[in-house]
Amino acid sequence: MKLPSLCVPVHLRLLACAAVMAVPCMAMAAPEARAEARAPREPHHRLDTSSPGHARDVALTLDACGGAYDADLIATLVRLQVPATIFVTRRWLDANPAAVRELLAHPTLFEMENHGSAHVPAVVGGSVYGLPGARDAAGVEREVEGGAQAIARVSGRAPTWYRGAGAVYGEQGEQAIARLGHRIAGFSLNADDGGTLGAASVARRLREVRPGDIVIAHLNRPASGTAEGLAAALPELLARDLKFVTLSQSAGVQPATNRSPAR
């Protein structure tokens, strides 16, 4: 919040107020936008595995924030027939038309959901991992709507899940997302720390997957170890009779209460 009047000495501000009685002193420090009432949070979610048909479910979710396309990662998922929910931004869709065609060519495997328009965090007046958040709640709504419109344009379907940039949300952001009919997609296991880990670290984290986990990893960093780590660990997970599903194929998503996503 920008408060230039606080840089003026107190006695000068009082004189200015006396000279201009029609303007209250407090108006000099009025905020441009309402800041978040509470600290932003990172929601942690798991799948509902209470019914027999979903007892072994696991969801792999991949973020495509911006930039490139990890073709090796998608090739591994196609080869192993592992479905995934892909959270895409409008700018990633615009920059990677060939990748979009590849995803759409496998409708039973890949489901595109909303990661926003320009990868702006759903935090009003703050930042997440160095990314500036929205200026106000209307900015969050524009981010969500822009991503939804881009997905509808390329796929013909409206997304229902939303994952904001950085997967962190302020209270105003959460309210704006809900107003637009989206559900926030959290996670329970972070496989690649934003696409920054090597293959061995990614594989080690993935080997800790248990039924009900929602895994987060990244599709837009082909130079990272994500694709190689997934290729190493997925056959082992499938051999454990884990069943990979998209979020819409699951029995439901619920808060994770007994497991930290940090690895």
The residue segments making up the domain with residue 160 are 45-255
Q: What is the pLDDT of residue 150?
A: 98
Domain count, the chain: 2
Q: Does residue 182 form part of some domain?
A: yes
Task: Assess whether 4 and 92 both reside in one domain.
Answer: no
Bridge partners of 116, per DSSP, are none
Q: What is the pLDDT of residue 91?
A: 98
Sequence-separated (6 or more) residues with CB below 8 Å from residue 76: 82, 227, 230, 231, 234
- Bridge-based pairing of strands 189-190 and 45-47 is unpaired
Phi, psi angles (nearest 5°) of residue 108: -80, -15
If the chain, 263 residues long, is cut into consecutive pieces of 10 residues, what is the mean pLDDT of each piece?
37 36 34 67 98 98 97 98 98 98 98 98 96 98 98 98 98 98 98 98 98 98 98 98 98 84 51
Task: Assess whether 139 and 49 both reside in one domain.
Answer: yes
Task: Assess whether 27 and 116 both reside in one domain.
Answer: no
Handedness of CA 160, 121, 41, 244 (dihedral sign): positive
Q: What is the pLDDT of residue 6?
A: 36
Q: Does residue 37 form part of some domain?
A: no
Q: What is the pLDDT of residue 258?
A: 66
Q: How far apart are CA 46 and CA 188, in angstroms?
A: 6
Whats the size of the chain, residue-wise? 263
Task: Assess whether 153 and 193 both reside in one domain.
Answer: yes
Phi, psi angles (nearest 5°) of residue 76: -65, -45
Task: Assess whether 129 and 195 both reside in one domain.
Answer: yes
Considering the entire predicted model, what is its pTM? 0.86
Q: Does residue 39 form part of some domain?
A: no
Task: Assess whether 143 and 194 both reside in one domain.
Answer: yes
